[in-house]
Structure 1
Amino acid sequence: MDRKQCCVSLSVQPSRGQMDEKFIVLIQNAPPGFQLTVHAFHQCEDKFKWEAFGHYTADATGTVNVSEDLSLGGTYLGVEPMGLLWSLTPVPGSKPGLMIRKLNVQTPMEVTISVYQDHQTEGFVDLVSLASVLVERWHMAPGIRRIPITEDGLSATLFLPPGPGPFPGILDLLGSGGMLLEYRSALFACHGFASLALDYLTNKVSIETGNFVDNKYFESAYNVLQQHPQVLGSRIAMVGLSLGCAITFKMAVYSDVFKPPDFIIYTPGKLSFSSSIPPTLRAMLNTGKTRVNEENQIIFRDLLLPITTDTSFKADVGRLQCPLLLVVGEDDQNWPAYESAMDIKEMMEGAGNSHLLTVLSYPNTGHIIEPPFTPHTRASNFMFAASRHKSTCLWGGEKVAHSHAQEDAWRKMLLFLRKNLWAMPELHGYKVVMGPSGAPLGLTWVNQVQHISVMTRLSRRTCTDHLRALSALAVLRVIASSFPLLQWIETLDPRVYIHADDLTEISADLPHGVLSRPVYPSAEDLPESPRTCLSVLSYINKLP
């Protein structure tokens, strides 16, 4: 077909959105039966180029909806609404062993979505697209506050949601690569949590002394989070990935500062050690149990196999008194994650505290379980921060299964955090009413019978009074399933902020136009980020 006669249109909604929210890619005005390629291109912060693409055929109306239609070929197959992101791979000829991790969360991940004629597989840089759209994916939603923390020698960043708070807290620990990586903490803040990203390997203390930080470093970070005026000091979780998981267990079991029931832990990764972590790791590496595959990628999973029965080597998880969520990749080639999880389960069953344990185990899923739609990397170049040793590590996982696991685990992890961190028996004279999904639906006065579960039951006076009472907690959810992309919203009363995430009961009661999408700022607008306005109070005026 002559390109000059083709007026294909392309839209991506939202073109500016949160990193963990889905978008809809829609191609229209193509000839019926038209074969086309939808292509995504991303140049990451280290200037390496990534691409993904799917092959589609327009229907009788000349339309392709990537969220509903089959990809017949490309980097993903079948109906995969977000395949253009999670299947991103380095362009042909790239340096081997690359991985995408966002370094600067104050700028978006930019992805160019394009449509090409016919089913193309290579040479996209030399092709002329029929249409293109630039998409921005943000880790920081409008209104999120980023606060560097250096007190007590810490290398950390605190992310606070919009509004006055206080908010539940998260101490966020990543793995043995070091660096202050903030992308996960920024996303936690988008979901209503005050999250502290902590660098515990390449911080000032470690660099100056050459030693691994001691327990006091993590306790200082916990105290900073707990004592912040906008953090609910009695509701703090610790989240660990890989080596961060081992530290999470160690602090939860043995530290006098981390005290349940104020504390929950979510850990995708490793079994914990009861002794000092760096010497333990060095001793393990010297056992000769590491393997190298035919692609010269190192496999570490055999280091702890078989799982030892020596309880002096393991954290005594039978002492845990707080909820624990384990996320397990059954094809983890870096660590025996599944075997470790089963050992933890057995230990907790023997101690009688297994009711606190939830295990999410995913087949064909590797070691690095990231937030949704993060491109899967089966193996990558890696430098251990403690030793500065460089190697290519095999993480494991099959692309489709791993990507689906990331999406499912993130959703269930947020639910776990909300359920446990918001499930407070009493606070400021109110009780929080929890819905079946674990999200707060409203409140009950402690000494009164009145029960508020959906917004349409509120009069103007009670709505205003109760929203103000709850504004510090931001727990009343006012979002319907028809508005799944909305996150933080602001009422006409500037003192009241509402986090919109789970509530679906009021969808039929809110007139069209009451809810509006958040406006993601352009880079030059930061840090003066506009906030979305929700005219709820105006609507409440009309209620009986």
Structure 2
Amino acid sequence: MQSHHLLSSAKRLNPLLFPMSTMATSTTTKDVQLLITPQSCLQDEPVKIQVQGLSPGQVVTLHTSTKDVRGAEFMAHAHYRANTQGEVDVTTMESEGGRYTGNFPMGLIAGMAPAPHVYKYTRFFKRDVENPNKIEASVFDGHLTDQDLYADTREDALASIVHERHYMAPGVQRIPVRYGRVRATLFLPPGDGPFPGVVDMFGTAGGLLEYRSAQLASRGFASLALAFFAFEDLPKTLEEFDIAYFEEAVDFLLKHEKINDSGVGVIGTSKGGDLALSMASFIPQVKATVVINGCIAPIEIGFHTHNGFIPPVNFDTFERLRVHDDCVLYLRQSLSDPRLYPERILPIEKSNSAFLFLVSVDDQDLNSELYAQMGVQILKKNNYDKPYEVCSYPGAGHLLEPPYSFFCSASFQHSVMMVPKWGGSLKFHSLAQEKAWIKLRQYLLKHLGTCSHQKSSVAIQSQL
């Protein structure tokens, strides 16, 4: 992993590796300055946010905002009080109100939510990973509400700055993949490799989501972001799966000249979790499997193997769904208990893979903690001789993403035309994402082998 650290250090020490796409200089009123350090960085890295030049004890509001590709605005704000030197340091000081209170160094990034004029159950999706998120940050006099910040009568900011957060490190390649039936995007780290290869899948949102794979490639993994419905010529809706499709994806990775051919890893979130377990159960080349809030059995959609079919477990009728305010659905207890249908549980004991279950304790979509423990019990009962582990994160919700992804506790889901509750609380969820990201990468490296791109390391060192 030395080369990964070199990449991170190179970026921090030499901002020219991440040139700002626009001249994002800070604008100030009088002597007030708003500083974000580094001003341009990778999406999974923390920053330091400071205000200088205020009056001692002055109360201010820090505000951040950005827009997704649809033009929907997301924002966060927090209230601070300057110290005796007229400074605010978000890293060490406590917010007195706003989106969060107390000490939360990355709250102005991770805490972004739909702006007051945007539908409150809008989820932020990063679709254009080749372009960074541009975070517009400002500091205002006084403690303002979110409505104040968008009022026509709002006074000008004391200072403003644009901060850029990149998903792709310098030299990462984004390669569209059309291999047989496979529809995907491959992200390759800089250098010659060979790199550990992983298949990366999400859930019922559908389409092709690339943001995690782009970040994995920025940390030394060759990652294949794999679509399985609602993309190009794939089925428009979820249909029964066939192991052959996923075998093709693994075959593509293993044949690539820059990818380690001794085996691959699989990462799956939600519905992608049971697909990852299905791949591990029936594809011997899968050597490491990471399940993020998934189930031990196929959910709603069955899975065809070479010699049979595994039927799904289903959500019970909607009468059992707990419908709360604004028709938000709490699905956690509504999925049929897989233990009542042993023939539907995936035969992970036949796998050739190590298993890591990343579990959010406050997952309100699936009882993922129970399903992970069921998986462990199956492996223990069968004297499974490969490593397996469960990491649980109290206060985290279903959407356990890479660090500093915007926290979302509920969002409209087009595939079901409803608003599932995902769960979690802002601070605990954010902390869980930081820890889970480190654990995921360490686990994959341990079981897939380290990255071999010394040439890339030397090139990066020469730029320091």
Band the TM-score falls in, shorter-chain normalisation: 0.7 to 0.9
Note the alpha carbon deviations across 1:200-256, whole angstroms, 9 max, x for none: 01244533898444211111111111110010111421000011110111111123x
Aligned match for 2:119, one of 95, 107, 113: 95
AA in 1 matched with 2:457? I
Counterpart check, 1:259 vs 2:285:
yes
Aligned to 2:292: 268
Counterpart check, 1:46 vs 2:70:
yes
- Displacement of 1:27: 1.2
Aligned to 1:407: 434
Aligned to 1:455: none
AA in 2 matched with 1:473? S
CA contact (8 A) 1:242 1:268 kept: yes
Aligned to 1:222: 250
TM-score, normalization by structure 1: 0.74
Q: Distance in 1 between matches of 2:132 and 2:346?
A: 39
Counterpart check, 1:240 vs 2:239:
no
Note the alpha carbon deviations across 1:82-132, whole angstroms, 9 max, x for none: 100111121223213111110110111111111111222232243310111
Query: Alpha carbons of 1:202 and 1:36: their partners in 2 closer, same or farther (altered >3 Å)?
Result: same
Counterpart check, 1:301 vs 2:332:
yes
Q: Distance in 2 between matches of 1:302 and 1:210?
A: 22
CA contact (8 A) 1:381 1:391 kept: yes
Q: Distance in 2 between matches of 1:393 and 1:316?
A: 29
Aligned match for 2:457, one of 486, 495, 498: 498
CA contact (8 A) 2:297 2:312 kept: no
CA contact (8 A) 1:24 1:81 kept: yes
Query: Alpha carbons of 1:309 and 1:355: their partners in 2 closer, same or farther (altered >3 Å)?
Result: farther
CA contact (8 A) 1:240 1:246 kept: yes
- Displacement of 1:421: 2.0
Counterpart check, 1:322 vs 2:346:
no
CA contact (8 A) 2:93 2:103 kept: yes
The equivalences for 1:528-539 within 5 A come to 532-534=460-462
Aligned to 1:61: 85
Q: Distance in 1 between matches of 2:49 and 2:114?
A: 22
AA in 2 matched with 1:534? S
AA in 1 matched with 2:440? M
Counterpart check, 1:371 vs 2:371:
no
Q: Distance in 2 between matches of 1:393 and 1:208?
A: 21
SS in structure 2 at match of 1:20: coil
Aligned to 2:52: 28
- Displacement of 1:381: 0.3
Q: Distance in 2 between matches of 1:194 and 1:365?
A: 28
Counterpart check, 1:175 vs 2:198:
no
Q: Distance in 1 between matches of 2:59 and 2:312?
A: 53
Query: Alpha carbons of 1:120 and 1:318: their partners in 2 closer, same or farther (altered >3 Å)?
Result: same
- Displacement of 1:310: 3.7
TM-score, normalization by structure 2: 0.86
Aligned to 1:124: 149
SS in structure 2 at match of 1:366: coil
Aligned to 1:197: 225
Aligned to 1:139: 167
Q: Distance in 2 between matches of 1:210 and 1:380?
A: 19
Structure 2 alignment gaps of length 5 or more: 1-27, 304-310
Give the structure, 1 or 2, with the largest relative contact order (CA under 8 Å, sep 6 or more). 2
- Displacement of 1:318: 2.3
- Displacement of 1:311: 2.5
CA contact (8 A) 1:321 1:356 kept: no
CA contact (8 A) 2:241 2:301 kept: no
Q: Distance in 1 between matches of 2:43 and 2:324?
A: 34
Q: Distance in 1 between matches of 2:73 and 2:205?
A: 22
When structure 1 is superposed on structure 2, of 282-291 and 137-146 the one drifting more is 282-291
Query: Alpha carbons of 1:275 and 1:299: their partners in 2 closer, same or farther (altered >3 Å)?
Result: closer
- Displacement of 1:368: 1.0
Size of the aligned set, in residue pairs, is 426
Q: Distance in 2 between matches of 1:209 and 1:90?
A: 27
CA contact (8 A) 2:296 2:371 kept: no
Note the alpha carbon deviations across 1:457-506, whole angstroms, 9 max, x for none: xxxxxxxxxxxxxxx8126xxxxxxxxxxxxxxxxxxxx2129xxxxxxx
Kindly name which structure, 1 or 2, has the bigger radius of gyration based on alpha carbons: 1
Structure 1 alignment gaps of length 5 or more: 424-471, 476-495, 500-530, 537-544
Q: Distance in 2 between matches of 1:357 and 1:236?
A: 16
Q: Distance in 2 between matches of 1:155 and 1:185?
A: 14
Q: Distance in 1 between matches of 2:312 and 2:322?
A: 16
Q: Distance in 1 between matches of 2:96 and 2:155?
A: 20
CA contact (8 A) 1:307 1:343 kept: no
CA contact (8 A) 1:15 1:135 kept: yes
CA contact (8 A) 2:267 2:289 kept: yes
SS in structure 1 at match of 2:260: strand
Q: Distance in 1 between matches of 2:236 and 2:208?
A: 17
- Displacement of 1:36: 1.4
Q: Distance in 2 between matches of 1:274 and 1:9?
A: 53
AA in 1 matched with 2:367? P
Instruction: State percent identity of aligned pairs.
Output: 30
What RMSD in Å do the two structures reach over aligned CA positions? 2.4
Note the alpha carbon deviations across 1:4-35, whole angstroms, 9 max, x for none: 98411111111111100011112112222221
Counterpart check, 1:356 vs 2:387:
yes
Aligned to 2:419: 392
- Displacement of 1:274: 6.4
Counterpart check, 1:187 vs 2:115:
no
Counterpart check, 1:339 vs 2:298:
no
The equivalences for 1:413-492 within 5 A come to 413-422=440-449, 473-474=452-453
Aligned to 1:382: 413
